[in-house]
A and B are shown apart, each in its own frame.
Chain A
């Protein structure tokens, strides 16, 4: 009786705690006025990938698999220049050519303007960085806030993008409405735009389908879904080689088709083809102007050791 009561008490207490803690919140970056919004996504399952019948589908989007995900928070917006520059312009962080494995370091200066004239307005989404650079941003943010932020996995990204829907786009199968939700080739004027200007999806996430494509944590494998067990929990294809890793979501440069929730883009070394130096920059992409990122925070913060292991794995 006593033990049962204790269990019940713990259960209730835990529920109360979750209800209080697991909600949308704003994270401040210490020593700055900058805040960013993190949206709570409950644990659940969804069907990853696209059906054979979907228009514009690529082979690598299937076979569809049911996937289970733990709860997480995800950024309501793509990471902006205001947030990025709190790191990139932070003179206290050493600037290194190599990616520092054991410490936090900061990207080298850009030899050219990698916004390509689109500008570094604080509300513009930050672009043209390598996946390593985004992970270093997360590592820096961890040292500033004590909170573990990372990129979404491919599965988390797609789940958040679909927001409970199963159609090609979260608003249906017809791309005609895309312009209300996303800056893509037809309405971008060949430029990215300030974040959050268009309609969000049902879970309050802006610019998932456009503006910038977004880095995920996964190594790209065209057969990844084939290899997935049904009802896989928190699936991820771990990093193996620098290229290709998975990018999700369309950008101001891409066609409507690329904005489909299931679309997968392998990031290739061509995205840095115009870097005239060797070794090429580990931080910047000379031809990846259409890529940016958005943060995820797992509901259960990993241990310090796990976090260190994570950063070491992605920054080596």
Chain B
């Protein structure tokens, strides 16, 4: 492969070579052979799939990444969500900066409905995937199939079948040398990176257990409106339906679970736990639990205790504590201590905006033609850890990783249409079936 004098292949050459070279080994950073740009100029074109609050935020961060980027396509199931996203990105009054000039989305490049993503992906070089997580495996597979770089939000699936698909797609992305960043932004946060470095250098000895928390009030609710089909209602109130969200252990608590996996350098082999819905019992809260407590066990016998709760007015804590033989990491405090002695304290004034950093680094790599990021595999396994936790609390049984991930269990609808039935349907009073420990079973 020819490189220019800076050691990098020029952008034009990438495009030419992409058709000639098959997949290669993964090494990061590495000069890529993939088709980095479809553009005739050097503009990096972006499409956003999923135009809610987070999609708008991620698109904004991409446009603020200081590279020559342009938003060219948008897709959402709902026209009003797409419009509010477009309006926010073209506003003159953004707190973060004016990116209006970097938005070039014609009416023909705005796609509404379940299938719009395919056409939106075709128009861009980098795809931002920020729909509810249930759709992620489908959208990710399509983006990689079309040879695009990806930023996708966590979690990356809601069921084991989705995880399988993401893992397979991650392999293809590696072969095609397509950069994939997953929005587990603690990996891009200065304090975590510094703590991780020190843990790797042996400051805490062997990591033997972890405590992780996401306890707080919970999130928004969108009440059912007259005239909505069941599919539309669930799509609007997606947080409370498992095929879309995966329960809050998956949708939020994944961040904390992922930190233990990351520092441990492995994934749990099994899980058991308890949970339920004691306070958030209304029909508007769909089918998810309001609390989970899970004991995850790693192959070497070490344990991660994981607790997450969405109950108003209760003790709030979102943090991770990692316990090693020679020291304890408190991520929130950003320090490492041992028997009361502070071994390391990160200066919090140096903290970055990790949401921005993940885009800055991704787009810098793409602009330079570097293949640097392969987050999808860990994203899938972090998601699988959370799903395994949910299966444990829902069933009250011990859930083994291998068995769960290979189970092929799918909770997704078979058909995506406004008049199609989602997998979980309400009874005559509008209440949904709820998992019951001891009754709910995944394996006979």
Contacts and interface: CB of A to CB of B under 8 A. Distances in A.
Q: Are A and B physically bound partners?
A: yes
Interface of A: 89, 97, 108-113, 115-117, 119-120, 190, 242-243, 253, 269, 272-280
B241 to A, nearest CB: 19
Interface string B217-253: 1111000000000000000000000000000000010
B282 interface: no
Given A242-B95, A243-B95, A113 B57 contact: no
B217 A110 contact: yes
B186 to A, nearest CB: 11
Given A110-B216, A278-B60, A278-B88, A273 B353 contact: yes
B123 interface: no
A113 B56 CA distance: 23
B88 A109 contact: no
B317 A277 contact: no
Interface residues of B, number: 35
Nearest to A189: B333
Contacts of A269: 95-96
A55 to B, nearest CB: 21
Contacts of A113: 215-216, 316-319
Interface of B: 53-54, 56-58, 60, 88-89, 94-96, 183, 185, 214-220, 252, 312-313, 315-319, 332-333, 348, 353-356
Contacts of A273: 96, 353, 356
A311 to B, nearest CB: 22
Nearest to A270: B353
A109 B332 contact: no
A89 B312 contact: yes
Contacts of B94: 278
A271 to B, nearest CB: 10
Given A110-B216, A111-B216, A276 B319 contact: no
Given A112-B216, A112-B318, A274 B95 contact: no
B52 to A, nearest CB: 8
A109 B312 contact: yes
Nearest to B252: A111
Contact of A117 (B88, B317, B353): B317
Contacts of A109: 216-220, 312
A57 B348 CA distance: 24
B57 A276 contact: yes
A110 B315 CA distance: 12
B57 A190 contact: no
Contacts of A108: 220
Given A109-B219, A278-B88, A117 B60 contact: no
18 contacts: A89-B312, A89-B313, A108-B220, A109-B220, A113-B215, A113-B216, A113-B319, A115-B316, A117-B317, A117-B319, A190-B333, A190-B348, A269-B95, A269-B96, A276-B57, A277-B57, A278-B94, A279-B53
B316 to A, nearest CB: 4
A124 to B, nearest CB: 12
B53 to A, nearest CB: 4
Contacts of A112: 214, 216, 318
Q: Which 5 pairs, one residue from A and one from B, show the smallest C-beta to C-beta distance?
A: A277-B53, A109-B217, A113-B316, A278-B56, A269-B95
B217 to A, nearest CB: 4
A256 to B, nearest CB: 15
A275 B219 CA distance: 14
A89 B96 CA distance: 30
B170 to A, nearest CB: 23
A119 B252 CA distance: 20
Contact of A110 (B53, B220, B316): B316
Contacts of B317: 113, 117
Contacts of B89: 278
Contact of A280 (B58, B95, B252, B332): B95
A184 to B, nearest CB: 14
B57 to A, nearest CB: 4
A243 B356 CA distance: 20
B13 to A, nearest CB: 36
